[in-house]
Structure 1
Amino acid sequence: MIKKCWNTIKIKSVEGEILKKSPSNIAIIKYWGKQKNQIQIPLNSSMSYSLGSIYTVTKLIFYPRKGKQQLIRVFYYGKEKISFLPKILKFFKRISYYCSYLKHFNFIINTYNTFPHSSGLASSASSMSALALCIMEIEKKLQITFNKEFFFQKASFLARLGSGSACRSIYSGLVVWGYHKSIIGSNNLYAIPYPYKIHRIFKKIRNTILIIDDQPKYVSSSDGHKFMFNNPYYKERIKCANQNMDKMIYLLKTGNFQKFGELIEYEALNIHAMMMTSNPYFLCMKPSTLKVLYKVWQFRKISNHNVFFTLDAGANVHLLYPNQEQQDIMKWIYSSDLLYNCKKIINSYCK
């Protein structure tokens, strides 16, 4: 798919700026752990929804490099962010084999999120996918010949090298990353849009995010993935994830929202169980996270509404529910004591 021949491209004297927006995503089948001695290759396949109103905006300014040393500067909300630079430099180094033309330019990266970064809301996914899309636009300006499908495949491939889940944020809707025998076209190198038909109830899903903790996590997702190999249950987790993917394929086709919700809750708790049983062990949930989960269960039992939770590698809670039940569920969210357990509420949707 990705060919070394791009290294032979003649660089023209081009410069300019590119603006791209890319969404965060929420995984409904999680991946946790990466293959050893590989760069960003997952231990199991995953599936996610891209989210509306939860995104990163990135402006990439590029101009010809004249000196011996390449200049890359990163700004976050208009202020230079030196702490972001090591990850960006690592990303550019990884993709240099596939985008050798980048060495001929200097870059200024201006970026911002509509949500807190590094707090378990897939900010790396949206930021790295936005940057990858900007880089692919440079490739277009250099008049490299490829079609639209290849543009997004390579963007997903590049984004993966910055952050694994970023490869899924390239696309809207349901997206799959990682090889699974039941999903045609699935592979470990880039994500693909979910290739099968889904029941109409899953085409309009609301997503309300309860911000329990907006501070950066004390254990990064990258470190958490590394700890997976010291977990005595990691092989069972891979087996379980693959089985859950098959279950999800069936549920997406048949439209059973209750079973769908139970599966995404199970997946979320399973991943957090992996964190708690890794070596070294750690917790991402906060006391308020657990209070919220219990309140969701209680409300669902009393009301029979289809509202379910999921979590990424953080303390914050995503509530997923059908669009047609939005009014009653939103009324519950804003009138219950749920608000006392979170700092902020972000209303979004699976797009």
Structure 2
Amino acid sequence: MNFYLNTLGELPISLEEPFTVNWTAPSNIALVKYWGKHGKQLPCNPSLSFSLRESTTTTRISFSPNKSLKVALNFQGQENEKFRERLERFFAGLGEVTHFFRHMEIDIESTNTFPHSAGVASSASSLASIALCVSSLIYHATEKEMDDGFYRLASYFARLGSGSASRSVYGRYSIWGHTSILSSNDEYAMEFKDYDPLFAELSDAILIVSDREKRISSTVGHSVMNVNPYADTRYLNAQKNVLKIIDAMKKGDLLRFFAIVEQEALEVHAMMMVANPPHLLFEPNTIEIINRIKEFKERTALPVGYTIDTGPNVHLLYFDRDKEKVMPFIEELRQFCQGGKIIFDGLGVGPVRNRIE
């Protein structure tokens, strides 16, 4: 039985009058990467991420009773037919989970604080904000008081739309996927809170090597893992790396933390390079930045590192206490960024429910 039915069951709920809700949710950056899925958006390996402070999506949804499902979308002040169709499939899928979503008109207004193709997952923050609105609707319709289960339910809904979105319903750090720690599982993410206080100061300079659309979509990237000859080794490594990075974060072992984060970034790109057909997602300036970060660490012994999602842009990670020492180096890297563009971000506190004006 899926998490929703196991939690609420097919309750005799209905929407008698329109309900409007507004949530802001962050994007997140995976430190241990989710790459490869099975079933209905279930991960082949666990992942650990941190939610961003500045890169967010705000979504306002008006739910109204209707004879059938109807979805309208205004994204960034414009119609976006491709994303609207994706959301229509998402809500149709929720109708398969519970009849509640089969008879509803859903009017969505959504905006991002960050540009598309900026090395930040817009689908994670978008689907998380939508899922939080959906969870609010369920709690409203069932007259439930908000509790810890609210965010688990939102994470479950978000995962059905975008795997990484399951982690964006929380602030700071979260884990998604079954591993031997806590109560983690594949159906929804959960917060990770047991770490050295220094990790509350994590900052992220997003170095925009290219703002072009990704060469391959995440959907295609996940699918090639199904026939990748090294997939099983990758999944086992990720399982081990989640446990290793948690131990490093608990002990405040910064060298080990960054070693794991960088290994994860390169290993996922290696999986794409040995795929059939192969995909090389780095740009020349990506490699230049990686090499310069390595030289900077050796020269200064400062605790910095990098991660890279499935594209060419580099996230330079450092701690607030070292900002004055790291900033001149970041400015040196600006020459390798398209148009000199860098987005400054860091660890965020998580989603916020906004007042309806």
Between the aligned residues of both structures, percent identity stands at: 34
2:267 corresponds to which of 270, 275, 285: 270
Secondary structure in 1 matching 2:294: helix
Query: How big is each residue's C-alpha offset from its partner over 1:125-180, in whole Å with a ceiling of 9 and x where there is no partner?
Result: 11100000011111232134365111111100000000001000010111000000
What residue number does 2:4 align with? 2
Deviation at 1:16, TM superposition (A): 3.6
Equivalent position amino acid for 1:56 in 2: T
Segment of structure 1 superposing worse, 8-17 or 125-134: 8-17
Q: Distance in 1 between matches of 2:78 and 2:312?
A: 27
Give the equivalent residue in structure 1 for 2:355. none
Distance (Å, rounded) in 1 between the aligned partners of 2:144 and 2:324 = 48
Root mean square deviation, CA, Å:
1.7
State whether structure 2 residue 250 is matched by structure 1 residue 249.
Answer: no
Whether 1:127 and 2:129 are equivalent positions in the alignment is no
Once residues 117 and 164 of structure 1 are traced to their aligned partners in structure 2, the CA distance between those partners, rounded to angstroms, is 18
Q: After superposition, where does 1:8-157 map in structure 2 within 5 Å?
A: 8-35=11-38, 38-65=39-66, 68-118=67-117, 120-145=119-144, 147-157=146-156
Q: Aligned partners of 2:274, 2:263: CA distance in 1, in Å? A: 16
- Which residue does 1:240 correspond to in 2? 237
Contact 1:124 1:163 (8 Å CA) reproduced? yes
Structure 1 window deviating more from structure 2 (83-92 vs 45-54): it is: 83-92
Task: State whether residues 333 and 339 of structure 1, in contact with CA within 8 Å, keep that contact through their aligned partners in structure 2.
Answer: no
1:187-336 alignment, distance < 5 Å: 187-194=185-192, 197-334=194-331, 336=332
Would the aligned equivalents of 2:248 and 2:257 in 1 still touch at CA under 8 Å? Answer: yes
- Bigger shift: residues 219-228 or 201-210: 201-210
| Partners of 1:135 and 1:103 in 2: CA distance | 13
Number of aligned pairs?
Answer: 344
Which AA in structure 2 matches 1:79? Answer: Q
Counterpart position of 1:338 = 334
| Aligned-partner Cα distance in 2 for 1:12–1:274 | 46
Amino acid across the alignment from 1:266: Q
Q: CA deviation at 1:70?
A: 3.0
Matched residue type, 1:320: L
SS of match in other structure, 1:79: coil
Counterpart CA distance in 2 for 1:99 and 1:110 is 24
> What is the SS of the residue equivalent to 2:344?
strand
User: Per the alignment, do residues 204 and 59 of structure 1 end up closer, same or farther by CA in structure 2, a change over 3 Å counting?
Assistant: same
What is the alpha-carbon distance in structure 2 between the residues aligned to residue 112 and residue 71 of structure 1? 20
TM-score (norm 2): 0.91
**Aligned amino acid, residue 302 of structure 1:** R
TM-score by structure 1 length?
A: 0.93
Three-state SS of the structure 2 residue aligned to 1:156 is helix
Secondary structure in 1 matching 2:37: coil
SS of equivalent residue, structure 1 residue 145: coil
Shift of 1:264: 0.3
SS at the partner of 1:97? helix
Q: Provide the C-alpha distance between the structure 1 equivalents of 2:81 and 2:295, rounded to a whole number of angstroms.
A: 45
In the TM superposition, residue 207 of structure 1 has moved relative to its aligned partner by 1.0
Aligned-partner SS, 1:253: helix
8 Å CA contact 1:121–1:316 kept in 2: the answer is no
In structure 2, C-alpha distance between the alignment counterparts of 1:237 and 1:49, rounded to whole Å: 21
CA deviations 1:197-233 (Å, max 9, x no partner) are: 2112212111111112222213101110000022111
1:180 and 1:236, CA in 2 relative to 1: closer, same or farther beyond 3 A? same
Q: Distance in 1 between matches of 2:179 and 2:13?
A: 39
Q: Distance in 2 between matches of 1:284 and 1:118?
A: 13
Look up the match of 2:351. Answer: none
- 1:27-65 Cα shifts (integer Å, max 9, x gaps): 111111012xx1111111100011100111111122221
Q: Deviations over 1:254-280 (max 9, x none)?
A: 111122111101100000000111112
- Mean Cα deviation higher: 292-301 or 169-178: 292-301
Q: 1:14 to 1:340 in 2, by over 3 A?
A: same
Contact 1:34 1:43 in 2 (8 A): yes
Instruction: Provide the secondary structure at the position in 1 that maps to 2:23.
Output: strand
**How far, CA to CA, are the matches of 1:138 and 1:237 in structure 2?**
39
Stretch moving more, 156-165 or 304-313: 304-313
Structure 2: gaps of 5 or more residues: 349-357
